């Protein structure tokens, strides 16, 4: 069973930056993809960024538009999400997720929450104008 623990959320003003971290337990040998999702009040959970930890490629939601960078450190079993130029619409609960299922390339496929078997409890990000 993979356990994920997020950290790094907080409150910032528009234009500011945050770095989220997601630490995974030791049972990660089967994991292909890790992702960041977010959910604002009253809205559906949506994909933010995905990394294939075997091939080391990343994918981003269109609304990220170059502002966020996802990376991973295999030795620490940790993935990161560096978020710059934050906007009030980035406010929400940010979740880390992991999948051992078949990987792909299309965003619509990769960003479906149902692909991910393991989830963290989330970390809150609040961006004020």
pLDDT tens for 19-61 read 999 999 877 788 999 999 999 999 999 999 999 988 889 999 9
Checking if the pLDDT of 78 tops 90, the result is yes
Confidence band (pLDDT; 50, 70, 90) for 75?
A: confident
Query: What are 128's strand-pairing partners?
Result: 13
Rg of the chain (C-alpha set): 14
Whole-angstrom Cα distance, residue 126 to residue 128? 7
DSSP state of 64: G
- The rounded distance, in Å, linking the Cα atoms of 61 and 83 is 13
Q: Percent of the chain scored above 70 by pLDDT?
A: 100
Structure tokens given for 77:
């079993």
| CB 32, CB 101: distance < 8 Å | yes
Nearest to 71 by CA among 94, 52, 90: 52
For residue 78, list its beta bridge partners: 23, 73
């Amino acid at each position: 069973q993979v356990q994920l623990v997020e950290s790094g959320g907080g409150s910032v003003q528009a234009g500011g930056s945050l770095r989220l971290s997601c630490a995974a337990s030791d049972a990660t040998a089967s994991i292909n993809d890790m992702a960041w999702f977010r959910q604002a009040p009253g809205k559906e959970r949506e994909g933010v960024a995905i990394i294939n930890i075997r091939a080391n490629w990343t994918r981003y939601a269109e609304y990220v538009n170059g502002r966020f960078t996802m990376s991973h450190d295999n030795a620490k079993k940790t993935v990161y999400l560096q978020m710059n130029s934050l906007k009030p619409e980035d406010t929400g609960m940010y979740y880390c997720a992991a999948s051992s299922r078949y990987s792909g390339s299309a965003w619509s496929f990769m960003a479906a929450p149902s692909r991910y078997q393991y989830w963290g409890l989330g970390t809150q990000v609040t961006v004020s104008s």
